[in-house]
Every structure is written in C-alpha cells, then in structure tokens.
Amino acid sequence: MSTKRTPQLSSRPHSLTPVVPDRFAPVLAELAEVSELFRAADKRLYLVGGTVRDLLGGHTSTAIDFDATTNARPDEIKRLLSGWADAMWTQGEKFGTIGARKGDRVYEITTHRAEAYHADTRKPDVEFSDAIEIDLSRRDFTINAMALELTSDSPTLVDPFNGASDLMTRTLRTPLDPDISFSDDPLRMIRAARFIARFNMNPVPELVEAVKQYKDRLEIVSAERIRDEINKLITVESPSAGLWFLVETGLADNFLPELPAMRLEHDPIHRHKDVLTHTLAVIENVHADANESFDFRITR
C-alpha cells in the first residue's frame, strides 16, 4: 500500500523573499542562459537543494552542483535544452530528471515531483506536480527545502517551511511530520546525524523522538547506502555530535553496535568516564584533512 504525501502549508505560510545580495551574483550569472530558456517558454526554473542552503550560509563559489526543478515536463525540458546544451542524457527521465552539459558545467533539471511510498522500500512511486511547494515538501530537512526562483523579474527565495530561519538558528527539523519523513525514507535519520555534526545543528524534540521510534526501519535500507552516509558523517570537520546522536537515539545499535557498547567499558587511563567518550574525543581532535584522505582499507 502506498501513501501520497501532501504538505500542510497552513501553519507555515508560503514565503517569497527577494534575494539579491551581491554574493549571489556569480552563481546567478552562471545560470542566466539556462534560466532565460525557461523564461522564454513561460516555464519556471528553481535552483534547489544544498546549493541554496550554502548560498544563504555564505558559500559563494560557483564550483557547485546546479540542481534545479521546474514545472516543465521531461519532454519539454529536453526540447528547451536541445540546441543549447553540448550534451544531454536521459537515464533519469522516468523520474523527471534530464541531465545536460554546457561547456564544463553540468546541470540536472527535474520536473516538480510528488511521491508515494510503500512500506517495504524507500524507493517511491513518482508523480509529477505543478507546485514547487509539494516538491519542496519531499526534501529531507527544512534547510534543504528552499528554492531560488530564477525566472522571475528578480531572484526570489521560496521558503514554505522556514528553512532560512532554521539555518540561522541552527534548528534541524523536517518539512513534513518527522514520523512521515523517516518512515518514508529511513536513511534520512542517519543524514540527520551528519547535518547535526556538519552545521552544529540542534534537532527539535519531535525529530529525536521520531528517530527513536523508527530506527528499526533502517532494515529496508541497503548496507551500501548506510555505509556511504556514515562515511560522509565521519569525514566532516567535527563528527562527534553526530556520532553521539546515533548512540543516544539507538540508531547505532542497528549497524554499528560496537559504538554504543563502548559506553559500558571504563577508561582507566584517560580522564574520560568511558571508552566511548574517550574515542569520540580523539575523533574530534583528528584534523578534517586527515579524515578526508584516510583510507580504511589500509588498516585491514
């Protein structure tokens, strides 16, 4: 049985905020040509995801992924990009995604989507949508559920779930009820640990409780996907807060039981009360560059 998720927007009104600070200029310039293609066809194009979050957080480099969403359907996206892009690929077309390359720049443009999930898998059935708010509601966290509208007269931030405010206050929450978000895609629970560590964020109580309730849903996630998410966590500059989150919520019991087991071992040599506290203190003091270049295979 599948469930279609429709966002409840009444408690968090749709926010449209002009965004024209100078630091956005280089990225907007990179997107000007492709934006004009959609504007001329009376279609809307939005920059989405981590790029918008990082722009708001002060990251100004143009060496970023250009992930966008649009109300144009895949056939229309292909038609608009044809003749402009140097190359185009359609492997993700059934999910609404068309990839393109222009010079050295790669773009992924996806039709607005709504999703229906089944209880035994984190892979949804995809339905196309005309509403940006519905598309944003399926994102993992509010800080990633913002969009920069590129085809209006001036760039506009679409923020129906108050992600900009959450980014400023370092608050981690989900666009929909966390029970829905984590039941639909349990991998988001481990991703929460990474964002807690990477951005020094504070999860709201209802998010923490939902993780404790749905931690066993990780059984529907492949070991490879869990491994990849953990690798991303342990290579952030200060991963210990995220690792503590995995232990405190019981998530680690499902894939790394040795970690919480360290709490039962006393640390007789160092000043910490248990081996887990000592281990996380060591991890915290390992330089991020060392983490990023470390190859776990050489320790075998």
Reported as a single tens digit per residue, the pLDDT across 14-63 is 455 555 567 788 888 889 999 999 999 999 999 998 889 988 887 766 66
Q: What is the pLDDT of residues 189-245, one digit of tens each?
A: 999 999 999 999 999 999 999 999 999 999 999 999 999 999 999 888 888 899 989
Q: What is the pLDDT of residues 241-300, one digit of tens each?
A: 999 899 999 998 988 787 777 776 565 565 556 767 767 776 777 644 554 554 433 433
Which residue segments constitute the domains of the chain, with CATH numbers given?
A: 2-169 (3.30.460.10), 177-299 (1.10.3090.10)
**What pTM was estimated for this model as a whole?**
0.81
Residue 298: predicted pLDDT: 41
SS3 category, 274: coil
Residue 12: predicted pLDDT: 41
Q: Is 253 exposed, middle or buried (0-12, 13-18, 19+ CB in 10 A)?
A: middle
Q: How many residues comprise the chain?
A: 300
Residue 7: predicted pLDDT: 43
How far, in Å, CA of 296 to CA of 138, rounded? Answer: 34
Q: Is 135 exposed, middle or buried (0-12, 13-18, 19+ CB in 10 A)?
A: buried
DSSP secondary structure string, 46-90? Answer: EEETHHHHHHHTT---S-S-EEEEESS-HHHHHHHHTTTSSEEE-
One-letter amino acid for residue 95 of the chain: F
